[in-house]
Structure 1
Amino acid sequence: MSRREIREQIFKMLFRVEFYTQEELPEQIELFKEDLENISPADLLYIENKITKIKEVLDTIDEAVNEAAEKWKTSRMAKVDLTIIRLAVYEMRYDEEIPVSVAINEAVELAKKFGTDESAGFVNGILAKLV
């Protein structure tokens, strides 16, 4: 799998965090893994580890986003946009392997693919304030 495809899978799994309790997440992860076809064990491990790491700092990420987003709070953001922003902020602040510009560009691409017509601009604007 390419990095972009892996990032997309991380986004899809992270999106589920908004809709399930902590107790339900292990089952959701297992269901998610069943849906993935032809994924290498290494890629699957990378996805699982990254999701775990993001969840560990989710409150800190949300605080930063709430500070940067004028007139917007994470509780009011579209769940797709919020999930993309969370993933990008994690990559920008905690993943030294990914350059900030790549994290932002990939987030904008995810927003174009999964969000509304306004999502790419909104995501880019929030992330630009967090650089």
Structure 2
Amino acid sequence: MNRREARIKAFQILFQMDSHDITPEEAIGFSFEEENVHEFTAELVYGVLENKTEIDEEISKHLVNWSLQRIASVERALLRIAVFEIRHIDVIPVKVSINEAVEIAKEYGEENSGKFINGVLSKIVSD
């Protein structure tokens, strides 16, 4: 599994947790079934959960005319992953974290999800 696939799995896990009231272990079980959880996926999921308050505050202060609760679950999960990567994983270039979030948003989100995520993340990194 490459990092893109690991990010998608992390996104799916966080999305499930956001949409349903389930534990990380339950969401991971649904996403991986018989497979072992990928190390990078686990790092993203647990990193987002451990830093969720800080991450959500960072996202919220860069939203214009939106609240974090109004953002669709797809965008919220992807923003959380990207902000975690940008703030806590130094070996991943910021541009890669942004690009990955935008590309996954284009695949799983609405028509303008990629643009929305790019705009918010651009504000965060330029602050």
The alignment's TM-score, normalised by the length of structure 1, stands at 0.86
What is aligned with 2:39? 45
What is aligned with 2:67? 73
Out of 101, 104, 110, the residue aligned to residue 110 of structure 1 is 104
Matched, 1:57 2:56: no
What is aligned with 2:78? 84
CA distance in 1, matches of 2:52, 2:119: 20
Q: Which runs of 5+ in 1 are unaligned?
A: none
**1:44-98, CA deviations, whole angstroms, 9 ceiling, x for partnerless residues?**
2332232111100011111111100011111000110111111111111111121
Which segments of structure 1 move beyond 4 Å, counting only runs of 4 or more? none
CA distance in 2, matches of 1:21, 1:58: 16
What is the aligned-residue identity percentage?
Answer: 35
Q: Which runs of 5+ in 2 are unaligned?
A: none
Matched, 1:17 2:17: yes
The alignment's TM-score, normalised by the length of structure 2, stands at 0.89
**1:2-38, CA deviations, whole angstroms, 9 ceiling, x for partnerless residues?**
111111111111111212336x4322322222065xx
Alignment coverage as a number of residue pairs: 125
> Which letter maps to 2:50?
E
Structure whose alpha-carbon radius of gyration is higher: 1
CA distance in 1, matches of 2:69, 2:29: 27
